[in-house]
Chains A and B, each alone.
Chain A
Amino acid sequence: MKNSTLLFSALPAALLLSACNTTATESKPAAAGQLAATPLPVISPVLPADAQFHEPFSLESLQHDFDVFSWESFVALNWPAASVGVADTSVNIGQKPGAVTVWQTYKESRDIFLPDGATPPPWGKDLPPPSVCGDQDLPVLNQIAKVPNNVLDESAEPFQTGPLVDQNGQYTRFEILTNDVMFNYIAEKNLYSKSGQEAFGKKADFPFGTDSQVGSIMLKASWKVLGKNDNPEKFHTTRAYVYDNPDEHAGVKAACKLQTVGLVGFHIGTKLKGNPQWIWSTFEHVDNAPTQGEAINKKHYNYYKPNCTDCAAVNTPPPRPWNPGNPYTQPSQVMRVIALDKPTKELNASYQAALEKLVPGSVWVNYELISTQWPTKAGSKTDPTGAPAPAFLANTTLETYIQGTVRQTSSSCIQCHNNATMTSGKFSDFTYLLQRAQ
Chain B
Amino acid sequence: MDIMSTFVGLSSVLTGFAQDILAPRLDTTNIKNLYLQSWTENIAQETGDANLVNTILQQYAELQAAGKSDEEIGEQLMNGNNSSAFVLACQKLIFLWYMGAWPDVNAQPGTETGGVTTSSLLSAESYTSGLVWQVMQAHPMGDSNYRYGYWAEQPPALSDYTGN
Q: B28–A388 contact, CB under 8 A?
A: yes
A408 to B26: give the CA distance in the assembly, Å. 22
Contact A14 B147 (CB under 8 A): no
A62 near B26: Cβ-Cβ < 8 Å:
yes
In the bound complex, CA of A389 to CA of B124 (Å): 18
> A421 to B148, Cβ gap below 8 A?
yes
Contact string against A for B residues 27-38, beta-carbon threshold 8 Å, 1 for contact and 0 otherwise: 110000000000
Chain B residues with Cβ below 8 Å from A382 are 134, 156, 160-161
A418 vs B25: C-alpha distance when bound (angstroms): 23
Stretch at the interface among B59-67, B74-82, B110-118, B138-146: B138-146
Number of B residues contacting the other chain (C-beta, 8 Å)? 20
Asked whether, in the complex, the Cβ of A427 is within 8 Å of the Cβ of B24, the reply is: no
Interface members, chain A 380-424 (any B CB < 8 Å): 381-385, 387-391, 407-408, 415, 418-419, 421
Kindly count the residue-residue contacts between A and B in the assembled complex, taking CB atoms under 8 Å apart: 57
B155: nearest residue on chain A (CB-CB)? A382
Which of A11, A15, A59, A407 is the one whose CB lies under 8 Å from B124?
A: A407
Residues of B within 8 A of A11 (CB): 25
Nearest-Cβ distance from residue B136 to partner chain A, whole angstroms: 12
Interface string of B1-42 (1 = CB under 8 A from A): 000000000000000000000001111100000000000000
Contact of A377 among B24, B147, B161 (CB under 8 A): B24
* Complex Cα gap A415–B148 (Å): 12
Q: Is A14 a contact partner of B26 (Cβ separation < 8 A)?
A: yes
Contacting A387 at CB < 8 Å: which of B24, B142, B157, B161? Answer: B24
Contact A418 to B28, CB < 8 A, known contacts A381-B156, A382-B161, A407-B124: no
Q: Which of B56-107 contact A (CB under 8 A)?
A: none
Instruction: Specify which chain A residues have a CB less than 8 angstroms from the CB of B27 in the assembled complex.
Output: 59
- Please name the residue on chain B nearest to A406 by beta carbon: B124
Q: Which B residues are in CB contact (< 8 Å) with A15?
A: 26
Q: How far is the CA of A11 from the CA of B124 in the complex (A)?
A: 28
Contact A384 B26 (CB under 8 A): no
Q: Given the complex of chains A and B, what is the CA–CA distance between A349 and B25 in angstroms?
A: 30
CB closest residue in chain B, given A386: B145
Name A62's closest neighbour in chain B (CB-CB). Answer: B26
Q: What is the CA–CA distance of A265 and B151 in the complex, to the nearest angstrom?
A: 37
- When A407-B128, A408-B142 are in contact, do A384 and B24 touch as well, CB less than 8 Å? no
Binding site for B on A (CB under 8 A): 11-12, 14-15, 57-59, 62, 376-377, 381-385, 387-391, 407-408, 415, 418-419, 421, 425-427
By Cβ-Cβ distance, the 3 closest A-B pairs, closest first, are A376-B26, A381-B160, A381-B156
